[in-house]
C-alpha cells in the first residue's frame, strides 16, 4: 500500500510539474491512460480445399482487452506499459488431434486464459506530435497463459479408441503458467476529443517466440498436449489484431 | 431660391469633406478608416447569404430560389467579404466620404435606391470600379487619381449603380453557367464559341449600364460630356498621372553625371488610336464602341446639366491629390517600382519638398536596386519597349543600368534621404544597400576615393574634350610629346624608346578614362570628405567581413567533409529539428487574420463550413496560447465590433506588410516597404513578431484507387477492406505558420505541416500547441555537439 501511495504521489507531483512547465505533449499534458479492445478474425481450420465457404464457416473472432499507461517522452516518442487479458476458446484442429493420439477436449474446445505484460514505444509519424496522431508502435512483452478451468484440469477423450464413449482422460495443467515472449508492431492513430480524451485505433501484428513454446516442436505427447495446442492457437488468434479504445489524457 | 439652395448644398458638401483632417502633404500620412465599422464588414457571410436568399425568395413568383442563384449568392457574399475584410477597403475617410457625397448627388432623385447602396474606396493602383449584387459599389483610388473632374466620377458611379439596379452580376453569372454547362438552350460547338457568347453577353450589359448611367447623369445637373471624357480617361488610365519629360538630375550630383548611353534619344509617342482594340474575348466593349453608343444617346438626350463640379473644383483636386499620393505608395507595395518612381517624380513637380514623396522615391530606388542586385529585376518591371510616353525613359534607364550602377545611385539617394529622415526604416534601407555594394558589387571606399582623385586630376587637366559623354568628357590628359628631341642622328634605340614612352602614356590615359567611366564610383564624390560616408562604408565593410568569415567557416567545414559526411550532417540537423523543434524565445506574438479553408474536389470551397471553422480556429489559437503561456493578440476581422476601427486599420497595415514581404524571396533579405508604418504597431502590440497561420483542408478522390483494388483482388482475403479503402475519399490537411520579425523582415517560422487526415480539432490543437511551445521556448545558450 505504501508503495502505491509513493508511486501515486510521485506521478501526481510529476504531473503538476509538467503542467506548469513549457513541455511538449497535448496542450502540455504528457501522461495518458487508455483502454483498448482488440479483435480479429481467424480461421483455425482453413485449407484451400475448404474454399471460400470454408473460410466463412470456420472463421472465429478473437477478443482481448488492454489497459495501458503512457508518457510522452519527447515530441515524437511516447513510452508505455500495457496489460492485456483474454480468455480464448481454442478449437482443436484435426491436425492436432491426429498428432497427439487422437485426443480432443470433451467440450470440443479448450478455454485458454492469457495475460500479457508489455512495454511499448510509440514513434509518432511525420508532422504528428505525441500523444496525438499517427504512430508506429514497437512492443515487447511476456505472455502468461494456461487453462482457464478452475481446477486447472482438461478432460479429453481419444477419438482413436472409439469416440466419446471411451473413458475420458484428465490432463492436469502446469503448476505455473506457460510463458512465451511477444514481439509486436502496430500502426495506430490517437485522435484527441476535447481536452482530456482520445480515441485510439490501431492495427498490429504480434510474434510469439521463446519460453515454453520451445517445447512445441518436441515429440507430441500427452504431456505437452495442452502447451502445444494453446501455443499454436495463441499465435493464430493474436497474430493480427485491430485495436479500438478510449483514453484519458491525464496531465 | 433654387440657386441659393444649390449654393448651400454645395457649400455644405465642400466644407464637410474638407473639414476632415486635412493632410499635410509634406509629411503625408496614408489615409485610414474612420468612425464605426459598417455593418457590411461585421455581418458574417453566411448570415448575409441567408438574408439574400430570403430576399430573393420573396421577390420570386413561386418563392423558390434556383440553385444557380443560391450558388451565386453564396460565392459572391464570401468573395466580397474577403475583400471587405482584407483591409484594402476604406470607409469613413476623406476620400470615401467624398465619393459618398457625389453618390448622394447622383441619386438625389432616387432616395430609396440610395438607401440600398453603400460606396467604399478600394486601395488599388488600378483604375477600376465595380458593384456587387448586394449593393456595394467599390471605386479604386487609382481611378480617382486619374479622373479630371467630379462629373466623371459621378458618371462612373452612375454606371455602377446601373449594374446594381439591373442585377447584372447575377444575370451574367447565371447566363455563364448556362453557357458553360452546355445547357440545351445554349448549344455551342466548342469552348471558343462559349467564351465568345459569354463575352458578348457581358458587353451587352456594359453598354446597357453605360446608357442607363448616362441617362441618370443627365438628371443630376452634371455635364453629360463627362461620360465621353471618362471614356478618354479609361483609354489612357494605364499611363502615369501626367506625362512630363524625365530629368535625371534628381539622381545625379555635381560630380556624378549619368552617361548618355543610359538614355533614349527619343521616347515612344503615346498611341492615340488604341480605342479599337479587339474585344472579341473581352468582358467589356472597346472604348470606341462605348463612346459611339454614348454619342448616339447623347444626341437624343435633353436636359443635361453643365456642371463639372457640384462641390468646388478645389475639393476635387484635393481629393485626387490624396489618391495620387496613396497610389504611389500602393505601387511600391505592389512592387511596381518604376511606375512608382515616375509617378512620384510627376507629383514632385508640384510638391518638391514633400518628405513623403522623397521617401516613396527612396523606396522605389531601393526596390529596383535590390532586385537588380539579385538578378530578379524582370520580376518587378516591364520591358521598356512596351511603354509609351516619357515614362519610357525611366524604364529604359533602370533596365540599362547595371546592378552596381543602380546600387550606387539608390544608395546615394538614400544617403541624402537619411540626412533629413533618420528613421530606423530609412537607415535600414541605406545600410542594406551599402552592405550589398560592398559584398555583392565589390565597391569599396578606397576605390571611390581613388576615382574621385582621378576625377579631380582629369577635371583640372588643361584640355577638355567636349564631344564625349559628360563624365568621359572631362577625361583628357595631354600626351606629352618630346619635340625638343631634334637631333640629327637618332639611333634605332632612341626611336624605339620614344615610341615605347608614347605608347605607355597613351595606355595610361586610356586606363584613366576607363576608370573614370565607372561613374557610379563618383556617387559620393561631392561628399567624399564627409565622415558619415566613410563611417557608412566602414560599417558595411565590417558587416561584410563578419558575414564572409562566417560563410567561409561554414564552407571550410563543408569542404573538409566527404559527401557522405555532408549528407549525414544534413540528416542529423533535420532529425534534431524533427525531434526537438525550434527554440525561438519569443514571448508575444500577434496572429493576423487566421484563415480556414475547407474544400472539396468536386464542389470547390465549402464556404459556410469554412467560415464557421475559422471562428473556431481562432478560439483554438487563444486556447492553446494559454496552455503554452504565450502572450498573443489575434486580429480576426470577423470578430471586430463596430468600435474596432483601430484594429481594422492595424490589420490593413499588417496585411500590406506581410503581403509584400511574402512576395520578396527570403534570400534577398529585403526590408519591406511598409516597415515604416509597422513601427508604431510594434510599439502598440509590444512585439515585432507577426504570424500568419491557417488551415487548408481538402477532400479528394484517392489517386491510387485502381492499384489498391487490383492489389486487393490478388490478395482476395483483403478485398472487402481494399474496396472500402479505395472508395473512401482521401483527406489532406495543411497547417500553415508563417511568422516574421518586422524589425528585420526575416522569417522566424515558415512551416507547412501536412496531415493526411481530416482537419480534426484534436490534431490541430496538438500541432498548434507544439508550434507555440517552440515559439515560446527559451533559446538554448549552448550549442548541440555530437
Q: pLDDT digit string (tens) for B147-196?
A: 999 999 999 999 999 999 988 888 888 877 777 776 656 666 677 777 77
Nearest to A240 by CA among A186, A195, A164, A173: A186
For residue B114, is pLDDT > 80? Answer: yes
Distance CA B707, CA A91 (A): 37
Asked if B578 has any chain A CB less than 8 Å from its own CB, the reply is: yes
Are the beta carbons of A132 and B766 separated by less than 8 Å? yes
Asked if A219 has any chain B CB less than 8 Å from its own CB, the reply is: no
Q: What is the DSSP letter of B686?
A: T
CATH match for A30-249 among 2.40.160.20, 3.40.50.2300, 3.40.50.1820, 3.30.70.260: 2.40.160.20
Same domain (yes/no): B515, B595: no
User: Which among A22, A27, A76 has CB closest to B776?
Assistant: A22
Nearest to B668 by CA among B280, B373, B333, B383: B373
So what's the pLDDT on residue A61? Answer: 77
Query: Residues of B with CB below 8 A from A132's CB?
Result: 762-763, 765-766
So what's the pLDDT on residue A167? Answer: 66
So what's the pLDDT on residue B17? Answer: 45
Query: Residues of A with CB below 8 A from B770's CB?
Result: 24, 75, 129
User: Which among B581, B717, B757 has CB closest to A75?
Assistant: B581
Q: Are B424 and B744 in contact (CB under 8 A)?
A: no
Query: Residues of B with CB below 8 A from A74's CB?
Result: 579-580
Neighbours of B743 (CB within 10 A): 15
Which residues are bridge partners to A71 per DSSP?
A31, A79
**CA of B627: which chain A residue's CA is closest?**
A27
Q: Are B417 and B384 in contact (CB under 8 A)?
A: no
For residue A23, is pLDDT > 70? Answer: no
Is B482 inside a domain boundary?
A: yes
**B597 min Cα distance to partner chain A (Å):** 20
Nearest to A108 by CA among A81, A133, A90: A90
Of B529, B552, B570, the domain-final residue: B529
So what's the pLDDT on residue A45? Answer: 58
For cell 466620404, name the residue.
B97
Helices (H), ranges, B460-530: 470-473, 492-516
User: What CATH number is given to the structural domain containing B687?
Assistant: 3.40.50
Distance CA B600, CA B453 (A): 70
Query: Residues of A with CB below 8 A from B775's CB?
Result: none
Residue B246 has, within 13 A of its CA and on its CB side, a CA count of 28
Q: What is the 3 state secondary structure string of chain A? A: CHHHHHHHHHHHHHHHHHHHCCCCCECCECEEEEEEEEEEEECCCCCCCCHHHHHHHHCEEEEEEEEEEEEECCCCEEEEEEEEEEEEEEECCHHHHHHCCCEEECCCEEEEEEEEEEEEEEEECCCCCCCCEEEEEEEEEEEEEEECCCCCEEEEEEHHHCHHHCCCEEEECCCCCEEEEEEEEEEEEEEEECCCEEEEEEEEEEEEECHHHHHHHCCCCCCCHHHHHHHHHHHHHHCEEEEEEEEEECC
Is B405 inside a domain boundary?
A: no
Here the cell at position B98 is 467624398
pLDDT bracket for residue B781 (50, 70, 90)? low
Q: What is the mean pLDDT of chain B?
A: 85
**A131 min Cα distance to partner chain B (Å):** 8
Distance CA B90, CA B97 (A): 10
For residue A131, is the peptide bond before it cis, meaning its omega torsion is within 30 degrees of 0?
yes
Query: Residues of A with CB below 8 A from B579's CB?
Result: 74-76
Is B744 inside a domain boundary?
A: yes
Residue to test with chain B: of A21, A27, A239, most B Cβ within 10 A: A27
Is B384 inside a domain boundary?
A: no
Are the beta carbons of A132 and B580 separated by less than 8 Å? no
Are the beta carbons of A22 and B755 separated by less than 8 Å? no
pLDDT in tens, B576-587: 877 778 888 899
Are the beta carbons of B770 and A28 separated by less than 8 Å? no
So what's the pLDDT on residue B38? Answer: 93
For residue B647, is pLDDT > 90? Answer: yes
Is B420 inside a domain boundary?
A: no
User: Which among A23, A25, A193 has CB closest to B762?
Assistant: A193
Q: What is the three-class DSSP state of B500?
A: helix
Are the beta carbons of B770 and A55 separated by less than 8 Å? no
Report the range of poorest mean pLDDT among A97-101, A120-124, B199-203, B728-732.
A97-101
Phi first, then psi, for residue A68 (nearest 5°) are -135, 155
So what's the pLDDT on residue B12? Answer: 44
Here the cell at position B130 is 465595380
Nearest to B412 by CA among B371, B373, B350, B369: B369
Is B406 inside a domain boundary?
A: no
Asked if B772 has any chain A CB less than 8 Å from its own CB, the reply is: no
Asked if B755 has any chain A CB less than 8 Å from its own CB, the reply is: yes
Q: What is the three-class DSSP state of B225?
A: helix
pLDDT bracket for residue A237 (50, 70, 90)? confident
Same domain (yes/no): B174, B31: yes
Query: Residues of B with CB below 8 A from A128's CB?
Result: 755, 763, 766-767
Residue to test with chain B: of A18, A22, A134, A203, most B Cβ within 10 A: A22
pLDDT bracket for residue B475 (50, 70, 90)? very low
Are the beta carbons of B579 and A76 separated by less than 8 Å? yes
Same domain (yes/no): B483, B584: no
So what's the pLDDT on residue B63? Answer: 76
Query: Among residues 123-152 of chain A, which lie with CB inside 8 Å of chain B?
Result: 126-129, 132-134
So what's the pLDDT on residue A10? Answer: 59
Of B498, B529, B560, the domain-final residue: B529
So what's the pLDDT on residue B176? Answer: 77
So what's the pLDDT on residue A200? Answer: 93
Here the cell at position B42 is 461585421
pLDDT in tens, A61-110: 778 899 999 998 888 889 999 999 988 877 665 555 555 565 666 666 77
Distance CA B743, CA B675 (A): 8
**CA of B751: which chain A residue's CA is closest?**
A127
pLDDT in tens, A173-193: 788 888 888 899 999 999 998
Residue to test with chain A: of B616, B764, B770, B780, most A Cβ within 10 A: B770
Helices (H), ranges, B301-353: 313-333, 337-348
So what's the pLDDT on residue A46? Answer: 58
Higher pLDDT, B10 or B552: B552
User: Which among A24, A126, A198 has CB closest to B770?
Assistant: A24
Q: What's the rounded mean pLDDT across residues B9-33?
A: 64
Query: Residues of A with CB below 8 A from B753's CB?
Result: 127
Residue to test with chain A: of B581, B724, B762, most A Cβ within 10 A: B762
Query: Residues of B with CB below 8 A from A76's CB?
Result: 578-579
Nearest to B445 by CA among B371, B550, B541, B318: B541
Are the beta carbons of B762 and A27 separated by less than 8 Å? no
**CA of B583: which chain A residue's CA is closest?**
A22
Are the beta carbons of A192 and B776 separated by less than 8 Å? no
Here the cell at position B555 is 564552407
Distance CA A67, CA A119 (A): 12
Domain holding B475, by residue range, is 445-529
So what's the pLDDT on residue B484? Answer: 47
ipTM of this predicted complex? 0.79
Same domain (yes/no): B155, B22: yes
For cell 515616375, name the residue.
B342
pLDDT bracket for residue A11 (50, 70, 90)? low
Query: Residues of B with CB below 8 A from A22's CB?
Result: 628-629, 773, 776-777
Distance CA B620, CA A142 (A): 42
pLDDT bracket for residue B467 (50, 70, 90)? very low
Backbone region of residue B87 per phi and psi (left: phi > 0; alpha: psi in -120 to 50; beta: other values): left
Are the beta carbons of B773 and A128 separated by less than 8 Å? no
Q: What's the rounded mean pLDDT across residues B463-478?
A: 43
Are the beta carbons of B763 and A26 separated by less than 8 Å? no
Asked if A114 has any chain B CB less than 8 Å from its own CB, the reply is: no
Same domain (yes/no): B525, B589: no
Domain count across chain B: 3
Are the beta carbons of A129 and B766 separated by less than 8 Å? yes
pLDDT in tens, B659-710: 888 898 888 888 888 888 888 999 999 999 999 999 999 998 888 888 888 8
User: Which among A27, A28, A75 has CB closest to B579?
Assistant: A75
Establish, for the pair of chains A and B, how many residue pairs have beta carbons separated by less than 8 Å. 69
So what's the pLDDT on residue B457? Answer: 79
Same domain (yes/no): B619, B759: yes
Are the beta carbons of A192 and B761 separated by less than 8 Å? yes
Distance CA B334, CA B392 (A): 19
pLDDT in tens, B325-363: 999 999 999 999 999 999 999 999 999 999 999 999 999
Q: What's the rounded mean pLDDT across residues B305-327?
A: 92
Same domain (yes/no): B698, B768: yes
Amino acid at each position: 500500500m505504501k508503495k502505491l501511495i509513493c508511486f501515486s504521489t510521485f506521478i501526481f507531483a510529476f504531473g503538476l510539474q509538467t503542467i506548469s512547465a513549457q513541455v511538449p505533449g497535448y496542450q502540455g499534458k504528457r501522461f495518458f491512460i487508455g483502454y483498448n479492445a482488440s479483435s480479429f478474425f481467424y480461421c483455425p481450420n482453413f485449407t484451400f480445399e475448404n474454399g471460400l465457404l470454408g473460410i466463412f464457416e470456420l472463421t472465429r473472432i478473437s477478443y482481448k482487452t488492454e489497459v495501458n499507461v503512457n508518457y510522452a517522452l519527447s515530441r515524437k516518442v511516447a513510452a508505455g506499459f500495457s496489460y492485456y487479458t483474454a480468455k480464448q476458446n481454442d478449437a482443436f484442429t484435426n491436425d492436432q488431434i491426429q498428432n497427439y493420439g487422437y485426443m480432443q477436449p470433451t467440450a470440443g474446445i479448450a478455454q485458454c486464459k492469457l495475460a500479457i505484460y508489455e512495454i511499448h514505444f510509440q514513434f509518432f509519424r511525420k508532422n504528428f506530435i505525441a500523444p496525438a496522431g499517427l504512430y508506429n508502435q514497437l512492443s515487447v512483452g511476456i505472455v502468461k497463459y494456461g487453462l482457464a478451468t478452475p481446477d486447472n484440469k482438461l478432460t479429453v477423450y481419444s477419438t482413436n479408441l472409439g469416440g466419446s464413449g471411451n473413458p475420458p482422460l484428465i490432463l492436469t495443467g502446469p503448476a505455473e503458467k506457460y510463458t512465451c515472449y511477444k514481439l509486436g508492431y502496430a500502426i495506430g492513430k490517437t485522435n484527441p476529443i476535447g481536452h482530456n480524451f482520445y480515441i485510439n485505433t490501431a492495427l498490429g501484428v504480434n510474434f510469439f517466440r521463446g519460453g515454453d513454446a520451445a517445447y512445441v516442436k518436441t515429440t507430441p505427447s500427452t504431456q505437452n498436449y495442452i502447451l502445444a495446442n494453446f501455443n499454436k492457437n495463441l499465435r493464430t488468434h493474436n497474430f493480427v489484431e485491430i485495436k479500438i479504445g478510449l483514453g484519458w489524457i491525464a496531465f | 431660391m433654387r440657386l441659393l439652395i444649390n449654393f448651400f448644398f454645395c457649400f455644405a458638401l465642400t466644407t464637410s469633406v474638407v473639414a476632415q483632417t486635412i493632410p499635410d502633404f509634406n509629411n503625408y500620412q496614408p489615409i485610414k478608416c474612420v468612425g464605426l465599422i459598417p455593418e457590411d464588414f461585421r455581418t458574417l457571410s453566411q448570415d448575409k447569404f441567408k438574408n439574400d436568399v430570403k430576399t430573393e425568395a420573396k421577390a420570386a413568383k413561386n418563392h423558390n430560389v434556383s440553385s444557380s442563384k443560391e450558388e451565386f449568392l453564396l460565392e459572391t457574399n464570401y468573395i466580397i467579404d474577403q475583400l471587405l475584410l482584407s483591409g484594402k477597403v476604406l470607409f469613413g475617410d476623406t476620400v470615401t466620404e467624398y465619393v459618398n457625397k457625389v453618390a448622394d448627388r447622383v441619386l438625389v432623385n432616387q432616395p430609396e435606391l440610395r438607401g440600398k447602396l453603400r460606396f467604399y474606396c478600394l486601395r488599388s493602383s488600378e483604375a477600376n470600379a465595380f458593384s456587387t449584387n448586394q449593393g456595394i459599389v467599390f471605386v479604386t483610388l487609382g481611378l480617382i487619381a486619374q479622373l479630371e473632374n467630379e462629373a466623371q466620377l459621378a458618371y462612373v458611379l452612375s454606371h455602377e449603380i446601373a449594374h446594381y439596379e439591373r442585377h447584372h452580376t447575377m444575370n451574367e453569372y447565371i447566363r455563364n453557367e448556362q453557357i458553360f454547362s452546355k445547357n440545351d438552350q445554349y448549344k455551342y460547338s466548342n469552348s471558343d464559341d462559349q467564351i465568345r457568347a459569354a463575352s458578348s453577353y457581358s458587353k451587352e450589359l456594359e453598354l446597357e449600364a453605360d446608357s442607363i448611367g448616362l441617362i441618370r447623369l443627365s438628371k443630376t445637373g452634371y455635364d453629360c460630356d463627362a461620360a465621353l471624357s471618362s471614356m478618354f480617361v479609361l483609354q489612357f488610365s494605364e499611363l502615369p498621372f501626367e506625362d512630363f519629360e524625365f530629368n535625371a538630375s534628381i539622381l545625379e550630383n555635381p560630380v556624378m553625371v549619368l552617361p548618355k548611353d543610359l538614355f533614349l534619344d527619343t521616347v515612344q509617342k503615346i498611341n492615340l488610336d488604341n480605342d479599337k482594340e479587339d474585344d472579341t474575348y473581352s468582358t467589356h466593349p472597346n472604348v470606341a464602341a462605348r463612346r459611339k453608343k454614348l454619342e448616339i444617346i447623347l444626341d437624343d438626350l435633353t436636359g443635361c446639366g453643365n456642371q463639372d463640379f457640384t462641390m468646388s473644383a478645389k475639393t476635387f483636386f484635393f481629393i485626387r491629390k490624396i489618391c495620387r499620393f496613396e497610389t504611389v505608395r500602393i505601387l511600391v507595395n505592389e512592387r511596381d517600382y518604376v511606375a512608382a518612381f515616375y509617378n512620384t517624380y510627376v507629383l514632385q513637380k508640384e510638391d518638391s519638398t514633400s518628405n513623403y514623396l522623397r521617401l516613396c522615391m527612396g523606396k522605389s530606388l531601393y526596390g529596383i536596386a535590390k532586385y537588380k542586385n539579385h538578378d530578379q529585376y524582370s520580376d518587378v518591371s516591364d520591358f521598356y519597349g512596351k511603354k509609351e510616353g516619357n515614362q519610357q525613359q525611366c524604364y529604359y534607364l533602370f533596365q540599362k543600368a547595371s546592378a552596381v550602377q543602380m546600387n550606387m545611385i539608390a544608395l546615394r539617394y538614400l544617403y541624402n534621404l537619411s540626412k533629413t529622415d533618420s528613421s530606423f526604416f530609412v537607415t535600414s534601407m541605406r545600410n542594406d544597400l551599402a552592405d550589398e555594394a560592398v559584398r555583392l558589387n565589390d565597391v569599396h571606399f578606397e576605390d571611390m576615393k581613388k576615382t574621385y582623385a582621378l576625377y579631380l586630376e582629369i577635371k583640372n587637366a588643361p584640355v577638355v574634350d567636349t564631344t564625349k559623354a559628360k563624365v568621359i568628357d572631362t577625361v583628357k590628359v595631354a600626351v606629352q610629346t618630346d619635340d625638343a628631341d631634334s637631333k640629327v642622328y637618332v639611333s634605332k634605340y632612341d626611336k624605339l624608346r620614344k615610341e615605347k614612352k608614347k605608347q605607355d602614356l597613351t595606355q595610361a590615359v586610356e586606363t584613366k578614362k576607363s576608370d573614370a567611366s565607372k561613374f557610379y564610383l563618383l556617387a559620393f564624390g561631392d561628399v567624399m570628405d564627409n565622415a558619415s560616408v566613410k563611417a557608412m562604408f566602414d560599417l558595411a565593410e565590417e558587416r561584410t567581413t563578419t558575414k564572409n568569415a562566417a560563410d567561409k567557416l561554414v564552407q571550410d567545414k563543408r569542404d573538409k567533409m566527404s559527401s557522405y559526411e555532408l549528407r549525414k550532417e544534413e540528416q542529423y540537423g533535420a532529425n534534431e529539428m524533427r525531434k526537438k523543434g525550434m527554440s525561438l524565445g519569443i514571448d508575444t506574438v500577434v496572429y493576423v487574420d487566421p484563415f480556414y479553408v475547407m474544400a472539396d474536389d468536386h464542389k470547390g470551397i465549402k464556404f459556410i463550413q469554412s467560415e464557421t471553422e475559422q471562428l473556431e480556429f481562432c478560439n483554438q489559437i487563444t486556447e492553446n496560447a494559454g496552455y503554452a503561456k504565450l502572450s498573443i493578440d489575434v486580429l480576426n476581422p470577423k470578430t471586430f465590433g463596430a468600435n474596432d476601427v483601430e484594429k481594422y486599420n492595424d490589420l490593413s497595415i499588417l496585411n500590406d506588410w506581410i503581403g509584400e514581404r511574402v512576395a520578396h524571396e527570403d534570400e534577398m533579405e529585403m526590408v519591406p516597404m511598409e516597415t515604416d508604418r509597422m513601427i508604431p504597431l510594434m510599439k502598440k502590440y509590444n512585439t515585432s513578431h507577426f504570424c500568419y497561420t491557417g488551415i487548408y483542408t481538402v477532400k479528394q478522390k484517392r489517386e491510387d484507387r485502381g492499384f489498391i483494388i487490383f492489389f486487393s483482388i490478388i490478395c482476395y482475403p483483403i478485398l472487402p477492406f481494399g474496396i472500402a479503402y479505395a472508395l473512401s475519399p482521401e483527406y489532406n490537411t495543411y497547417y500553415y505558420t508563417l511568422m516574421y520579425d518586422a524589425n528585420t523582415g526575416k522569417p522566424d517560422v515558415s512551416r507547412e505541416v501536412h496531415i493526411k487526415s481530416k482537419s480534426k480539432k484534436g490534431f490541430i490543437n496538438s500541432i498548434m500547441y507544439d508550434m507555440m511551445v517552440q515559439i515560446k521556448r527559451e533559446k538554448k545558450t549552448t550549442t548541440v555537439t555530437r
